Amino acid sequence: MSTPPRSRAQRRRDTEHRLAHDVDVWVASASPDGAPHLVPLSFDWDGEALLAATPAESPTGLNLAATRTARLALGHTRDVAMIEGDVEVLDLDALPPDRGDRFAARTGFDPRSLTTAYRWFRITPRRVQAWREADELAGRELMREGRWLA
């Protein structure tokens, strides 16, 4: 442990910085019968939700559409933000063009230009936790039921 534990307010600022500046996130989903699946996806954060895209018929696409829930991980194992969220499934043409353009510019990936059937997945956080090491496990919960605690 090289630095003192961060305050909850600092952890929130650090997490919001990651959401605004990171481009990729680990997405964990499960099928309705509980089979887990984990993939990295590019995302864009609009201040309320993360927008990601994946093939509609991929394991992740099918899982997210069926269960409407996901668990996301940003960062490294010694500086992680874990996000549990509710998933809204959108067809590619359901998103306003400027929102899709923003996603493409930020991530360098535009699913609208592909022949494979993709969908947008808008993930709204309902629980957020962040910690670096064991000394930050206490107070790691930053959001509960969609409301920031700090």
pLDDT, tens only, 91-118: 999 999 999 999 999 999 999 999 999 9
Is residue 81's pLDDT more than 90? yes
pLDDT for 39 equals 98
Q: How far apart are CA 149 and CA 126, in angstroms?
A: 12
pTM comes to 0.94
pLDDT, tens only, 14-25: 999 999 999 999
